[in-house]
Amino acid sequence: MSNFEIKAYPEMWQSLDIDVERFDKMRIMLGELYEKTFLSQENRPAAMVYFDNMVAELHGGRIKELLAAKEDGRPVIGTFCVYIPEEMVLAAGGICVGLCGGSQGSIPDAEKILPRNICSMVKSAFGFKDGRICPYFQAVDFVYGETTCDAKKKTWELLDQMVPTYVMEIPQCKKPRDIALWLEEVKDFKAKVEEVAGKTISADDLAGAIQIMNNKRRVLQRLNALRHHKPCPISGKDGLLVEQIAFFDEPVRFTEKVGELCDELEERIQKNVAVPAKNATRVMIAGTPMALPNWKIHNLVEGAGAVIVNEESCVGTRYFKDLIAENVSDMDDMLAALTDRYKEIDCSCFTPNDERLDQVIREFHESKAQGIINYSLQFCHTYNIEEIRIRQACEKEGIPYMFIESDYSSEDMGQLQTRIEAFLEQIGE
């Protein structure tokens, strides 16, 4: 019998119009998967208990916090993308939460409506709402969408029929006129948040929110740097889990708990404690985001005895590598600084995107990895095509490289395991 359980809140779920019977089955399956994936690890840092508890209360205690905020008149905004200016939501007293989109279980719901040949993340997210099997979707005031890919921007039109969906245009280039457009989009989003919150965001409000989010990014930068130590003091799976929970947890509390984890990792480094082993082959992951509970590639790589030391993705470094300037106090200057920071996120939607090529190579060397696995979801056209340039850049630098294109299903697990094991054998010392 499982010792780990994702807590059940059937009455609250019922009040949110969730398909409780079906959602409860998914809850049990997720709990079993979590125990097998994370709690079976040896020598985990003690501070990971907080994140285990966060997962246990992911669909209960955290949802209660969101509903309490709504009772107080604070907006709760659901997101899919790291381009949302979270600072704006915080400045209005609101809560910004990631939405479900990393599970195979909701995809059949989506495929009754959406085309099959679009990426799993879009289908998974849409299916969670259509099937009424995500309490976050049911709790939000509105959903924030963006125009980073064709599948998303057309899906928002359909999603808007089920839940209010606000779409921000993200320019696909970074010329001055594109940045000017982006700044206007940020101002429009500020007005939207103020409308929902029923309050005007002051310069002090925004300055405080920028400080909170910068502190959150700083602590994630610290965690990432500690993962780069050789030998690594924490598994890649646990590192990924912390990054995923960053999209759900309250930011000040999260920052404190990740700081405590980092303190423990620094002690481990002093004592030369390694996870999983001191001589484990070190791998860096690049590519598309891995939304919770997508732990597929990490399971395969670390199941083969290697350790993942870096994620160049929207769940990884693209989310936290850049800070917003804190030396400005005028509202217009802060909005410009905020826009300037968000344009530094190197999504594959941009053209040209030389900055991302440079970033991948830089992170490879900083993480002391021995090889790169570039991971892309099937039908994610921008990342799949940009893979060619990433591969060329790695070949030029002499970096061992492997490309994986997959989805959320388990159908290709055997094939991937064979390929990954061969790659690890090739690059291992």
For 213-248, the pLDDT digits (tens) are 999 999 999 999 999 999 999 999 999 999 999 999
Name the residue with tokens 């870096």: 310
Q: Can you give the pLDDT at residue 429?
A: 63
Q: What is the pTM of this model?
A: 0.97
The CATH class for the domain spanning 206-324+331-337+346-427 reads alpha beta
The answer to whether the 11-172 and 206-324+331-337+346-427 domains have the same CATH topology is yes
Q: What percent of the chain is modeled with pLDDT above 70? A: 99
Handedness of CA 153, 157, 158, 161 (dihedral sign): positive
Q: Can you give the pLDDT at residue 177?
A: 97
Query: What's the pLDDT band for 1 if we cut at 50, 70, 90?
Result: very low
User: For the stretch 54-85, what's the b/e string if a residue is b when 16 or more beta carbons lie within 10 angstroms of its beta carbon?
Assistant: bbbbbbbebbebbbebbeeebbbbbbbbbbbb
Q: Are 335 and 183 in contact (CB under 8 A)?
A: yes
| CA dihedral angle for residue 180, residue 181, residue 182, residue 183, rounded to 10 degrees | 50
How many CA within 13 A on the CB side of residue 53?
Answer: 8
Residue 294 has pLDDT above 70, yes or no: yes
Domain locations along the chain = 11-172, 206-324+331-337+346-427
Q: Which two tokens stand for residue 348?
A: 């594959």
For 349-402, the pLDDT digits (tens) are 999 999 999 999 999 999 999 999 999 999 999 999 999 999 999 999 999 999
The domain 11-172: what is its CATH number?
3.40.50.11890
Partners of 403 in beta bridges: 374
Query: Greatest CA separation found in the chain?
Result: 60
SS3 142: strand
CA distances from 349 to 88, 345, 355, 372 (A): 23, 10, 12, 21
Of 41-50, 270-279, 357-366, 386-395, the one with minimum mean pLDDT is 270-279
